[in-house]
Amino acid sequence: MNPNYIDQYFKKYMNVSIHTYVIEKRIELAKEVLREGSTVTDACNKSGFGNYSNFIRTFGTKVGVSPGKYKKKYASTV
């Protein structure tokens, strides 16, 4: 199958590109890991980002705050 066809088909039914969908899922996983109290580096690695600075930039853009600030605000105090 043609990759462009797959992306168009996915976008038709999901209303987002495959790339955007994957990034959103990775960010949701990173948020969950940060809420559990893991480090920002662990959240980066566990959510599948290969580059730390790209993770910081993408997280900040999608969530509106840096991963460190998100962790401080939402990490469970168990």
Q: Enumerate residue ranges in the chain where pLDDT < 50.
A: none
Residues 40 and 32: beta-carbon distance below 8 Å: no
Among residues 78, 70, 73, 5, the alpha carbon closest in space to that of 31 is found at 70
What is the Cα–Cα distance from 54 to 73, expressed in whole angstroms?
Answer: 22
pLDDT at 67: 97
- The pLDDT score that the predictor gives to residue 77 is 59
Give pLDDT, residue 1. Answer: 82
The residue to which tokens 């939402």 are assigned:
74
Span between the terminal Cα atoms of the chain, in Å: 49
